């Protein structure tokens, strides 16, 4: 009854949510029972004497930067409590991410809650008997209206556990000050007894490599550190020294065969490999991921689309620019891996050819533009779906489409400027113009975010010609990228040929059923769909022969265009037979190769690009 009466009071009192005078806000993070997976968060708020607000709203983000699906961190909050000194304060939930707390008479409010976390990833937190690892937004509530206020954080680790993050300045540091909430949650932190620290310097900046291995390292850590140094050198050569004093690669070898991620931050990255450092594949993946993530130091963390910071954590991000933020980073990650000497020209061109194949063979290659792909990120970036979707047919990766837009622009700029400029110059000028030299547009960070039109303007300026048409056709539109024009400029050409198993008939096995033969989302309008197969059917026979995951493609490809193929499936516990008629080949191989008629200038541009 009392709670009900107070609830009405809290609901109907006049909200004072416009940012007034700064609050004094400090956080404590404890973890007294690691095996429980429960982080203990305490937030002390001291209101200024002039503050008239009758309540304070504490809110936990719905998602956090870099992973654009909705995570709803609120679902892991428990044991919420609010006090002023020893006096219990009334509080209520007003929506699924907001706790409204009545203010105390003396102007102090302390809230405490526990947050469950047992996922090792760049988005969620993990506390277990071996370590604690978090990013920020999945643990820390903010005071509504006071995200711009400076904050303090104190971490209370279990005895003999040490704390490190990308803003650690001295040994055994457990306290940090942050200029605002967005900076605080951009600082992933590792707390544990057995992580290691290595350091090197490039152009006067310190780079640290923190490794927490949960399996054998095989003596590979020194060479991993040396290889990451090669990446840092290659990228610093392009951009010039970054503006920070130190940067931290925080790398986990999870040894659980499932956790994997790479996430960019202002002065650090979290890289999580599912395997162990002793394995060659895990090692190589960690270096490739480092090449991608370190490029984000400039592209996305500082040079950023206008919608990416500061953020409204009550609704998903909506930016048209992820094909630049992620896609161009994808292109440069591959290019820098090559420039740093890990892959020869042939390997680099093969990697690009494979990406072209993935995009051009995708069902959505003519349906979804790069901009639309970016706007769909909250549905596609590791989002979970209980409701069935047709996204496998309708969505395209902004990473890979963006990588190919970058490739085309890079080569076209080289050709149009006779090798004077490349996409590198676009990136450097945009960084200078929007980040370094623009006045601060918000409390969040230096400079301002760019619009797509801003970015297109820099491309045209560097190319020395109006590129508006390129953006209309290939970025907002779904026209096939001008590979021929772009590659010809550097003495290369794209060869398209049917795959040696060119027919799929639109059959797609469900990736959620990795052992079985259940069908996933069939290609829209494909022979399989026209013949009457549907998602959920379990494929048993093609052409009278029983099929497995290993042989169904080869059995199907014994038939040719125009043939009618009998197919059997299990559906609702019965066997159903249909007949499907094969169309033209639907899977093609793309290969970039030397153009025998290349001009001397094209050859020179090619060697400038590749060497």
**Residue number, 78 or 196, with CB nearest to Zn ion:** 196
**Residue number, 195 or 483, with CB nearest to Zn ion:** 195
Burial class (CB in 10 A: 0-12, 13-18, 19+), 416: middle
Q: Give residues 104-133 in contact with Zn ion (rule: CB under 5 A).
A: 131, 133
Site for Zn ion contains 265 (CB under 5 A): no
Tokens 């619009």 belong to 451
**Residue number, 287 or 492, with CB nearest to Zn ion:** 287
**Residue number, 67 or 131, with CB nearest to Zn ion:** 131
* Least distance (Å) between residue 254 CB and Zn ion: 9
Q: Do β-strands 492-498 and 588-594 pair in parallel, antiparallel, or remain unpaired?
A: antiparallel
**Residue number, 63 or 421, with CB nearest to Zn ion:** 63
How many residues at the interface with Zn ion, by CB under 5 A? 7
- Apex 146 CA angle, 140 and 150, nearest 5: 75
Task: Sketch the per residue contact string, 267 through 306, with Zn ion: x for CB under 5 A, - otherwise.
Answer: ----------------------------------------
**Residue number, 402 or 531, with CB nearest to Zn ion:** 402
**Residue number, 57 or 326, with CB nearest to Zn ion:** 326
Phi/psi at 260 (5° precision): -155, 135
**Residue number, 210 or 475, with CB nearest to Zn ion:** 210
Q: What is the DSSP letter of 328?
A: I
Residue 352: closest CA among 199, 155, 532, 486: 486
- Helix, strand, coil distribution of the chain in percent, nearest 5: 30, 25, 45
**Which window, 192-200, 277-285, 502-510, 591-599, contacts Zn ion (CB under 5 A)?**
192-200
**Residue number, 143 or 291, with CB nearest to Zn ion:** 291
* Least distance (Å) between residue 450 CB and Zn ion: 17
**Residue number, 133 or 557, with CB nearest to Zn ion:** 133
* Least distance (Å) between residue 162 CB and Zn ion: 11
Q: Do β-strands 246-253 and 205-213 pair in parallel, antiparallel, or remain unpaired?
A: parallel
C-alpha–C-alpha distance, residues 233 and 514, integer Å: 40
**Which window, 73-81, 101-109, 204-212, 336-344, contacts Zn ion (CB under 5 A)?**
204-212
Hey, what's the torsion of the CAs at 221, 209, 259, 40, to 10 degrees?
130
**Which window, 309-317, 323-331, 463-471, 558-566, contacts Zn ion (CB under 5 A)?**
323-331
Residue 10: closest CA among 78, 89, 114, 83: 89
* Least distance (Å) between residue 250 CB and Zn ion: 8
* Least distance (Å) between residue 66 CB and Zn ion: 7
**Residue number, 97 or 270, with CB nearest to Zn ion:** 270
**Which window, 152-160, 273-281, 319-327, 414-422, contacts Zn ion (CB under 5 A)?**
319-327
Hey, what's the torsion of the CAs at 584, 585, 591, 594, to 10 degrees?
-40
* Least distance (Å) between residue 192 CB and Zn ion: 5
306 touches 445 (CB < 8 A): no
Residue 507: closest CA among 488, 527, 491: 527
Q: Give residues 402-421 in contact with Zn ion (rule: CB under 5 A).
A: none
* Least distance (Å) between residue 591 CB and Zn ion: 27
**Helical spans, DSSP H, in 185-279:** 221-239
CB burial readout 335-360, b (16+ within 10 A) else e = bbbbbbebbeeeebbebbbebbbbbb
* Least distance (Å) between residue 78 CB and Zn ion: 23
**Residue number, 149 or 190, with CB nearest to Zn ion:** 190
* Least distance (Å) between residue 195 CB and Zn ion: 6
* Least distance (Å) between residue 610 CB and Zn ion: 24
**Which window, 24-32, 39-47, 157-165, 324-332, contacts Zn ion (CB under 5 A)?**
324-332
**Which window, 24-32, 326-334, 446-454, 509-517, contacts Zn ion (CB under 5 A)?**
326-334
513 by DSSP, 3-state: which?
coil
* Least distance (Å) between residue 497 CB and Zn ion: 32
- Answer for which of 67, 167, 212, 428 binds Zn ion (CB under 5 A) is 212
**Residue number, 212 or 414, with CB nearest to Zn ion:** 212
**Which window, 89-97, 154-162, 329-337, 431-439, contacts Zn ion (CB under 5 A)?**
329-337
* Least distance (Å) between residue 484 CB and Zn ion: 29
Structure tokens given for 357: 């194949």
**Which window, 206-214, 346-354, 428-436, 538-546, contacts Zn ion (CB under 5 A)?**
206-214
CB burial readout 220-231, b (16+ within 10 A) else e = bbeebbebbbbb
Residue 555: closest CA among 529, 517, 588: 517
Residue 303: closest CA among 409, 410, 403, 424: 424
**Residue number, 137 or 192, with CB nearest to Zn ion:** 192
Q: Give residues 130-149 in contact with Zn ion (rule: CB under 5 A).
A: 131, 133
Tokens 């907002």 belong to 476
Classify the C-alpha dihedral 185-191-195-196 as positive or negative: positive
**Residue number, 92 or 271, with CB nearest to Zn ion:** 271
**Which window, 315-323, 325-333, 342-350, 515-523, contacts Zn ion (CB under 5 A)?**
325-333
* Least distance (Å) between residue 264 CB and Zn ion: 6
C-alpha–C-alpha distance, residues 324 and 402, integer Å: 6
**Which window, 50-58, 167-175, 191-199, 524-532, contacts Zn ion (CB under 5 A)?**
191-199
How many other CB atoms sit within 10 Å of the CB of residue 240?
12
How many other CB atoms sit within 10 Å of the CB of residue 134?
25
537 touches 519 (CB < 8 A): yes
464 touches 416 (CB < 8 A): yes
569 touches 576 (CB < 8 A): yes
Residues that bind Zn ion (CB under 5 A): 131, 133, 190, 192, 212, 326, 329
């Amino acid at each position: 009854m009392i709670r009900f009466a107070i609830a009405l009071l809290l609901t109907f009192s006049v909200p004072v949510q416009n940012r007034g005078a700064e609050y004094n806000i400090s956080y404590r993070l404890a973890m007294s029972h690691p095996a429980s997976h429960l982080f203990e968060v305490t937030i002390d708020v001291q209101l200024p004497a002039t503050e008239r607000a009758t309540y304070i709203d504490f809110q936990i983000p719905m998602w956090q930067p870099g992973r654009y699906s909705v995570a709803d961190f609120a679902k892991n909050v428990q044991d919420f409590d609010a006090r002023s000194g020893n006096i219990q304060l009334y509080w209520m939930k007003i929506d699924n991410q907001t706790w409204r707390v009545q203010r105390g008479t003396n102007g102090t409010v302390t809230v405490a809650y526990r947050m469950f976390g047992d996922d090792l990833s760049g988005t969620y937190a993990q506390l277990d008997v071996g370590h604690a690892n978090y990013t920020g937004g999945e643990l820390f509530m903010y005071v509504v209206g006071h995200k711009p206020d400076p904050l303090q954080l104190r971490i209370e680790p279990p005895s003999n556990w040490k704390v490190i993050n990308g803003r650690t300045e001295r040994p055994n540091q457990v306290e940090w000050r942050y200029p605002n909430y967005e900076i605080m949650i951009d600082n992933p932190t590792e707390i544990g007894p057995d992580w290691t620290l290595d350091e090197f310097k490039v152009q006067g900046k310190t780079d640290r490599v923190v490794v927490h291995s949960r399996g054998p390292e095989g003596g590979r850590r020194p060479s991993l550190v040396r290889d990451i140094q090669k990446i840092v050198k290659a990228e610093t050569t392009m951009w010039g020294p970054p503006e920070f004093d130190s940067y931290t690669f925080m790398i986990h070898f999870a040894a659980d065969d499932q956790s994997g991620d790479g996430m960019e931050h202002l002065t650090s990255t979290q890289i999580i490999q599912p395997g162990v450092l002793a394995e060659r594949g895990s090692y190589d993946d960690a270096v490739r991921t480092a090449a991608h993530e370190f490029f984000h130091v400039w592209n996305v963390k500082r040079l950023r689309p206008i919608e990416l910071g500061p953020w409204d954590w009550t609704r998903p991000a909506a930016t048209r620019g992820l094909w630049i933020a992620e896609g161009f980073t994808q292109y440069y990650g591959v290019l820098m891996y090559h420039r740093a000497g890990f892959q020869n020209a042939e390997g680099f061109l093969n990697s690009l050819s494979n990406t072209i194949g993935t995009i051009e063979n995708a069902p959505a290659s003519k349906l979804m533009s790069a901009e639309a792909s970016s706007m769909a990120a909250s549905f596609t970036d590791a989002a979970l779906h209980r409701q069935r979707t047709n996204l496998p047919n309708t969505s395209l990766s902004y990473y890979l489409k963006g990588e190919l837009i970058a490739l085309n622009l890079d080569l076209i700029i080289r050709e149009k400027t006779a090798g004077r400029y490349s996409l590198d110059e676009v990136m450097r000028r945009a960084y200078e113009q929007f980040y370094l030299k623009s006045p601060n547009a918000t409390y969040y960070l230096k400079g301002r975010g760019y619009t797509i039109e801003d970015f297109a303007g820099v491309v045209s300026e560097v190319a020395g010609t109006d590129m508006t048409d390129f953006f209309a056709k290939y970025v907002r539109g779904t026209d096939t990228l001008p590979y021929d024009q772009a590659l010809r400029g550097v003495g290369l050409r794209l060869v398209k040929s049917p795959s040696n198993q060119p027919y799929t008939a639109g059959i797609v096995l469900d990736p959620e059923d990795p052992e079985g033969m259940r069908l996933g989302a069939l290609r829209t309008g494909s022979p399989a769909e026209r013949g009457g197969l549907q998602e959920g059917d379990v494929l048993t026979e093609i052409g009278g022969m029983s099929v497995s995951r290993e042989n169904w493609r080869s059995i199907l490809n014994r038939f040719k265009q125009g043939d009618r193929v009998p197919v059997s499936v299990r559906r609702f516990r019965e066997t159903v037979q249909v007949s499907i008629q094969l169309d033209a080949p639907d899977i093609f191989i793309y290969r970039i190769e030397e153009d025998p008629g290349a001009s001397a200038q094209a050859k020179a541009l090619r060697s400038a690009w590749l060497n």
